Each structure stands twice: as C-alpha cells, then as structure tokens.
Amino acid sequence: MTEASEAAQADRTLKARHRAMWAQGDYPSVVSHVIPDLGARLVRECGVRQGDRVLDVAAGSGNAAIPAALAGADVVASDLTPELLEIGRHLAAVRGARLEWREADAEALPFADGEFDIVMSCVGVMFAPHHRPAAEEMLRVCRSGGTIGLVNWTPEGFVGRMFAAMKPFAPPSPPGVQPPPLWGDEEHVHELLGDAVTDVDARRETVRVDRFGEPSGFREFFKACYGPTIAVYRAVAGDADRVAALDAALDALAAEHTVDGVMEWEYLLLTAHRRG
Ligand SMILES: C[S@@+](CC[C@H](N)C(=O)[O-])C[C@H]1O[C@@H](n2cnc3c(N)ncnc32)[C@H](O)[C@@H]1O
C-alpha cells in the first residue's frame, strides 16, 4: 500500500468510528431537551430567506436545516451519520418541511464550487476532525458574497470544558485530529477562514439549560444520549475506579455551572461573507 492509500484508509476508519459514535445513544433527544432553539437562532442570524439555496453542514437531525426550510429556503442537510439524517427526514415530515438529506463528510463535500447562497453549521462542523479541510470545503461551496454562519461551543464554556474533562478518560486520538471546541475560539476561526471572508461578526452567547436539576441529572442524561460521552464511558467501562472518577469530574463541572437549577452553556456565533 502506498503512503497516500494508507492515509485514505486511516481516514475512512476514523470517519466510520465517528459515524458509529454519533449514531449511538439518542442525539435527537439532546436537541429537543437542551438546544431546541439553537438551530433557528443560527438561521435567523444568517438571514435565511425564501428561495435561498442553503447548505447545513453536519446537520444531524436538522436542528438548523428544518427551520431554514420552513423559512422557504431550498435546503440541503448534509451529515456523516445516516441514522441522524433518517430521523431528520421523519421530523421534517412531521413539521411540514421539505428539504434534501445527503450523507457527506464535511471534509469532502459532494457539491459544486459556489453552489450555495448560505453555508451554515450549528455545533456540527466543529466535530469534523481536521479543521482546515472542513473550513476550506465550506468556503468552496459558498458563492461569492454568500454567507457563512457558524455556532460552535467555546473552549471556556460548559461543553468545551466537558470535552476537556472527558479527555483524560478517552483513548488517544490519531495524529492530526484537532479538538472540537477550538472552533469556538474566535482567533482559530479567523485563521481558518482567513482572507476568504469579509464582514466577520462574532459574538459569544449562551443557551439556558434548566432541565437537569441535580448535576447528576446532566451526567445521566449525557451518558445515555450523547455519543461522545457514551464513547468515553465505554472506554473505561472495565475499570470501576475510572468510571467513578469520570462521574465525579462531570458532576463537579455541572455543579460549577449550575445556579438555582439553571446552567448557561456558552457558544460562539459567527457570520461572515464569502469574499467575491
Ligand atoms: C452535535 S451534533 C450537531 C448536529 C446538528 N447540527 C444540531 O445542531 O443538532 C454533531 C454532528 O456532526 C456530525 N459529524 C461529525 N463528524 C462529521 C464529519 N466529518 N462530516 C460531517 N458531519 C460530521 C455528526 O454526525 C453529528 O450529526
């Protein structure tokens, strides 16, 4: 095998693992219980209008893609995980939204250059393991003057810190894999988008999460529903002390972020225009 074909094989293996990780648990419940309005927030910020051609990258079950379609746009929801797209199809039918669902790796989008007026991603593209190719693909498929819109969890916010807390318990990542919450760092996104965009508007906002009550309520819900958390618990499952230490780390973090039963989870909301 040549070096290039070995690298391609390693990438296919990594993506297959990621796909399996996001398909486990019940990610659509995380959306409906925790971030039901975040996709619509991004759609509003991108100024999605009737007739716009919109791509939602790493769309999952359509948290942003469905509101965009309901706004009258011509939407493609793309994601690595077909199981989530299938659930999205069903949710869209229930809500009366019509859109296209396409299985696709954010690092190799199956779309033409400049095909979309708006290319957006809601806590999605941040999970593609190689940030530069993912950013380049979003830019490539956006037309000149079109809009790029991103919502990403920040490294300092609750979800960013949850990933940091889980890291010592997770198996080491293959070389070249970058941490998802880096996409919530404004400098990092500026570097990725570079001169290819103008009119960058970036701000930090929070999602108010009030469904967990006790910190352990958060942990139990994520342990059951959220793929990355399930994967880390699986990795330590044979070691009761490690499981207890992970439980304690997540409970401590949740307690630190909870005031009167309410948590605030910080994200970076960024929009920009593709330079002509
Ligand atoms: C936290 S979910 C966000 C889903 C959706 N955007 C939302 O707001 O609910 C992250 C998504 O990224 C997808 N994903 C992970 N790696 C990907 C990749 N390389 N290419 C495309 N999608 C990917 C997962 O399948 C999952 O649907």
For 150, phi then psi, to 5°, come to -135, 135
> Model pTM?
0.97
pLDDT, residue 3, reads 82
Q: Whose CA is nearest to atom 26 of ligand 1?
A: 60
Q: Does the CB atom of residue 229 touch ligand 1 within 6 A?
A: no
How many angstroms does the Cα of residue 194 sit away from the middle of ligand 1?
23
What spacing in Å lies between the alpha carbon of 237 and ligand 1's midpoint? 25
CA distance 44 to 47: 5
Please report the pLDDT score of residue 240 as a whole number.
98
Q: What is the pLDDT along the chain (276 residues), one digit of tens a residue?
A: 788 888 899 999 999 999 999 999 999 999 999 999 999 999 999 999 999 999 999 999 999 999 999 999 999 999 999 999 999 999 999 999 999 999 999 999 999 999 999 999 999 999 999 999 999 999 999 999 999 999 999 999 999 999 999 999 999 999 999 999 999 999 999 999 999 999 999 999 999 999 998 889 999 999 999 999 999 999 999 999 999 999 999 999 999 999 999 999 999 999 999 998
Is ligand 1 within 6 A of the CB of residue 66?
A: no
pLDDT tens for each residue of 222-233: 999 999 999 999
Q: What average pLDDT is seen over the chain?
A: 97
Whether 120 lines ligand 1, by a CB cut-off of 6 Å, is no
Chain-centroid distance, C-alpha 256: 24
